[in-house]
Every structure is written in structure tokens, then in C-alpha cells.
Amino acid sequence: MNKVYASAAEAVADIPDGATLMAGGFGLCGIPENLILALRDKGVRGLTVVSNNAGVDDWGLGLLLYTRQIKKMISSYVGENKEFERQYLSGELEVELCPQGTLAERIRAGGAGIPAFFTPTGVGTKVAEGKDTRWFDGRPYVLESALKADFSLVKAWKGDTQGNLIFRKTARNFNPMMATAGKVTIAEVEELVQPGELDPDQIHTPGIFVQRILLGTGYQKRIERRTVREG
């Protein structure tokens, strides 16, 4: 099976309108920049996107918000994206806010074949409204459903042509768990090598979870909010 695609445009060519996507990254760290740009240029619409946040106004998933290609976001954080906030408050964008740890576990559960799980996070808040709550060991827990996607878009540091991936430091974030939870996982990497060139003990995501891989280019790796100390 040839998993290597020549371009991001080719890798996302069959993503249809109305698809459910997962997009790796935390803020702007570890986001699949090339794949997001390819989706914008493709013009696919009505997307449901699972991601920790929606980038910023002019980068990352914020680009797809600006072009009104996203119908619904399942996220844990809104704060750095004014357009995300505006569309949500005006009713243009459907948003399912989820505590960050719960979001991570819902994705992990989806990849592990676990349909739902109980967590104490969110009990007694709006997060728990309409959900089953049960008591375990004298403590209330709320039932959360797993998340899965038609396509998972992830970004890794290194990968080989069989789809084995290595992530670098905090850019690992949501990427490995999302790679397991998509029917089709598309990975872009900064370095693409041949099988056997990666240390097996260093591989974070085995190639069995990755259906498509491409060599990314032109990474900007922006910093959302730079904080410096006065000299």
C-alpha cells in the first residue's frame, strides 16, 4: 500500500462537504498547516471539526472559520480567536464546549473502541446537562461519549513512508490520540524517511493508524502570544 501523497491538496481531495474532521494541535503548536490550507483552497463546506481550539483569526483553523467552511466546532477553548467568538455568539457557528481533559479522553476512547466513560469533571455544571449521572464510591460522575472522525489531520516531526510517526516535544499534544480515532488519518511531516530509518523505540504512532502521509513545506510555526521579560 502506497501511503505517500505528493501534496496536501491530493491528500484531502476526497474529503466531502459535511465531513467530521479531527485536527491536531494546541493553539498553533503542532497544527497540520499544509492540510488546513489545502482544505481552505478546496472549498469543502459544512465541516464538523474536533480540535482543542480553532487557531487564531488569520491562521490555523481560523482560516476555515473566516471562509465559513466550518459548521460546528467541538473544542475546549475559544479565547484566542475573535472570529470564533463572534460566530458563536451570533449563532452562526454551532459549538460544543468540552473540558480539555474530557476532550482528550473522548478522543482516546474513540480510538480505543470505548463508546463512553464516566468522569467527575463537569458534574453539576452545564457540561452535565442532559447526560446520565451516576455515583461511584460516593462521588457523582457524568457519562461522556467517545469521539470519532471521518478524517483525522495530524502533524508530526518525522515519519516514514509506512506512516510511522514521531512527534517533537509539546507538538505531540492531541495528535497521537487523533491519529487513532479517524477512519482515515492523514499525516503531514517535516521529515519523511524510508522504513527502518526511525528508531522503533521512539515511534509514538505506529503506521497501522496512518493511511496517508506527505512531506509538508513552508511551516510558519507561529507563536500565539509572545511573553518576554524586560531586560
pLDDT tens-digit series, residues 164-176: 999 999 999 999 9
Residues 133-143: tens digit of each pLDDT: 999 999 999 99
The reported pLDDT for the residue numbered 40 is 98
Give dist(CA 79, CA 93) in Å, integer.
Answer: 15
Cβ 5 vs Cβ 38: under 8 Å: no
The reported pLDDT for the residue numbered 81 is 85
What's the pTM value of the predicted model, to 2 decimals?
0.94
Does the structure show a pLDDT above 90 at 186?
Answer: yes
Which residues, other chains included, contact 204 with Cβ-Cβ below 8 Å and sequence gap of 6+?
156, 165, 166, 167, 172, 176
Residue 231 — very low, low, confident or very high, per pLDDT cuts 50/70/90?
A: confident
Average predicted confidence (pLDDT) for the chain: 95
The reported pLDDT for the residue numbered 159 is 98
Cβ 192 vs Cβ 160: under 8 Å: yes
Q: Which residues pair with 155 in a beta bridge?
A: 188
Which residues, other chains included, contact 44 with Cβ-Cβ below 8 Å and sequence gap of 6+?
12, 15, 16, 17, 19, 69
Residues 92-117: tens digit of each pLDDT: 999 999 999 999 999 999 999 999 99
Report which residue type is found at 172: R
Q: Which of 157-161, 214-218, 221-225 has the lowest mean pLDDT?
A: 221-225
The reported pLDDT for the residue numbered 161 is 98
Instruction: Tally Cβ neighbours within 10 Å of residue 182.
Output: 25
Give dist(CA 11, CA 230) in Å, integer.
Answer: 45
Per CATH, is 8-215 categorized as 3.40.1080.10?
yes
